[in-house]
Amino acid sequence: MSIENESPLTTYDPLDAAIRRNPYPWYQHLRRHEPVKFLPGMNAYAVARHEDVRQLMLNHGGFSSDPLIQLAFSDFNPAPGARYMIASDPPDHTRLRTLVNKAFSKRALTEMEDAIRATINQLIERLEGKTHFDFIEEFSSPLPVSVVGDILGVETSKHADFRRWSNNVTAGGSAAVLGEAQQAAMHQDAADFRQYFLDRIADARAHPQDNLICALVDAEEQGQKLSADEVLALCVLLLIGGNETTTNMLANALVTLRDYPEVEREIRGNRALIPDFIEESLRHTSPIQLLFRRATAATRIAGVDIPENAIVMPTFASANRDESVFSKPDTLDIRRPDLRKHVAFGWGIHMCVGRALAAIEGEIALNALFDRYASIQLASADFDLCDAFYLRGPKGLPVEVRPN
Ligand code: PIM
């Protein structure tokens, strides 16, 4: 499909279902012709080029993160009024991030590796004898939920609820294109999500244990490092962060392997290439397509005037296909020299705190899946996408497997 042949060119709308199906020709058009484009429907400026996105992310003084949760979750925010780390600026961001960094330190991750391996083996054992299953339901959703559940100290038997809550809260930003019945369910899920974590926070106060919720509660009680609302917002963010995007990372990777069987043969034969495949898959099919910032003063990006308080959308998935950084950007190439220049985890002070954890989960998961199955095929050619317009991943992914 060529956008140049379509008219009018002004119809780029990231909420549009057909555009979401294949946004890449649009991203290319934006990078070439309208690197900063005002979208009247969203009342926001899309920023499409790699260097502009990087500069925007580095300039946290010029571009505040404060509108992020309102635009992502809309009226379906389980912790309204609370300051989320991802939507805060220094000094609040620094204070929150310093606390959270500890749970994701190299040492903490090394200590988690055995548990991640055990979780993956359990999930695969549960699939014994099955040749057809939904990859997301049975594997790519329960895995990160279990891992982040261990970190937070919540029972992972509720993973189906966690997944639905996360899906429905992140879909809040897409509410304008969703039906009334779905919106009612989303409101209920946001309320249940909130209540669940209020209860867990109350438990943590009553019975201190060695988990992140207790550490956060402790930080709150010890001296003004954290407010009670901030504890709730961090729990919500970490559950969604662990649940939504890692699930999509793994599912998108399977879809990518369907399209690049020669890459699958190569990485099955040389497992040391798996980390590069994961990074390249994140570049090629980014689980977070775009996020939101607010210009704190009138400014210019790529020659376009941005008024004070305007919303701008760093479009990571477009930056990740920028031909001025990545040659043949639409092609998956695990040997490209600039593999790690992708911005799928963002950039600057907000760069994803869970990125090393996601990479470890992906590496151990693919190794275990390759060990167990000689072949993992998608059982249907097509699939629906998740509802959140700023995220990308299949809603469900039926697969057919052949054991080794
Ligand atoms: N997921 C993983 N890291 C960040 C996220 C996220 C951020 C905003 C909305 C939804 C998911």
pLDDT in tens, 108-145: 999 999 999 999 999 999 999 999 999 999 999 999 99
Q: What tokens appear for 20 in the block?
A: 């979401």
pLDDT band at 247 (very low <50, low <70, confident <90, very high): very high
Average confidence (pLDDT) over 39-47: 96
CB 185 within 8 A of CB 168: yes
What Rg, from alpha-carbon coordinates, does the chain have?
A: 21
Q: Check pocket membership of 14 for ligand 1, CB cut-off 6 A.
A: no
Question: What separation in Å is there between the alpha carbon of 240 and the centre of ligand 1?
Answer: 6
Average confidence (pLDDT) over 246-269: 98
pLDDT above 60 (res 7): no
Report the DSSP beta bridge partners of residue 44: 39, 311
Where does residue 25 fall: left (phi above 0), alpha (psi -120 to 50 degrees), or beta otherwise? alpha
Q: How many CB atoms lie within 10 A of CB 346?
A: 18
Average confidence (pLDDT) over 373-398: 96
Q: What tokens appear for 139 in the block?
A: 């594997």
Question: What separation in Å is there between the alpha carbon of 281 and the centre of ligand 1?
Answer: 18
Q: Which residues have C-beta within 8 Å of that of residue 355, sequence separation ≥ 6?
A: 345
DSSP state of 243: I
Q: Check pocket membership of 241 for ligand 1, CB cut-off 6 A.
A: yes
Name the closest-CA residue to atom 11, ligand 1: 241
Q: Check pocket membership of 65 for ligand 1, CB cut-off 6 A.
A: no
Q: Which atom of ligand 1 is nearest to the CA of 353?
A: 3
Query: Residue 403 and residue 375: Cα distance in Å, rounded?
Result: 7
Cβ neighbourhood burial of 15 (10 Å; 0-12, 13-18, 19+): middle
Q: Check pocket membership of 144 for ligand 1, CB cut-off 6 A.
A: no
pLDDT above 60 (res 10): no
Average confidence (pLDDT) over 232-255: 94
Where does residue 81 fall: left (phi above 0), alpha (psi -120 to 50 degrees), or beta otherwise? left
Q: Check pocket membership of 243 for ligand 1, CB cut-off 6 A.
A: no
Provide φ and ψ at 313, rounded to 5°.
-120, 100
- In tens, the pLDDT along 61-100 reads 999 999 999 999 999 999 998 889 999 999 999 989 998 8
CB 387 within 8 A of CB 394: no
Nearest to 237 by CA among 153, 166, 294: 166
Question: What separation in Å is there between the alpha carbon of 262 and the centre of ligand 1?
Answer: 31
DSSP state of 391: B
- In the chain, % of residues over pLDDT 70: 97
DSSP-assigned states of every residue in 81-117:
TPPPGGG--TTHHHHHHHHHHHHTSHHHHHHHHHHHH
Q: Which residues have C-beta within 8 Å of that of residue 244, sequence separation ≥ 6?
A: 166, 167, 170, 287, 386, 388, 391, 393
pLDDT band at 230 (very low <50, low <70, confident <90, very high): confident
Q: Collapse the DSSP code of 373 into the 3-class scheme (helix H, G, I; strand E, B; otherwise coil) and give the result.
A: strand
CB 312 within 8 A of CB 292: yes
Q: Check pocket membership of 282 for ligand 1, CB cut-off 6 A.
A: no
Name the residue with tokens 């072949």.
375
Question: What separation in Å is there between the alpha carbon of 241 and the centre of ligand 1?
Answer: 5
Q: What tokens appear for 94 in the block?
A: 């620094």
pTM for this prediction: 0.95
Beta strands in 346-397 (DSSP E): 373-378
Q: How many helices (H) and strands (E) does the chain have?
A: 17, 10
pLDDT given for residue 205 in this prediction: 87
**pLDDT, mean over the chain:** 93
Q: Which of 13-17, 100-104, 331-335 has the lowest mean pLDDT?
A: 100-104
Higher pLDDT, 100 or 50: 50
- In tens, the pLDDT along 317-347 reads 999 999 999 999 999 999 999 999 999 999 9
pLDDT given for residue 8 in this prediction: 45
- In tens, the pLDDT along 271-293 reads 999 999 999 999 999 999 999 99
- In tens, the pLDDT along 179-212 reads 999 999 999 999 999 999 999 998 888 888 888 8
pLDDT above 80 (res 221): no
pLDDT given for residue 223 in this prediction: 67
Cβ neighbourhood burial of 22 (10 Å; 0-12, 13-18, 19+): exposed
Report residue 325 CA to chain centroid gap. 22
Run of H or E including 238: helix 228-240
CB 90 within 8 A of CB 60: yes
pLDDT given for residue 208 in this prediction: 87
pLDDT given for residue 285 in this prediction: 98
Query: Residue 159 and residue 139: Cα distance in Å, rounded?
Result: 11
Q: Check pocket membership of 240 for ligand 1, CB cut-off 6 A.
A: yes
CB 298 within 8 A of CB 307: yes
Q: Which of 16-20, 213-217, 227-231 has the lowest mean pLDDT?
A: 227-231
pLDDT given for residue 243 in this prediction: 85
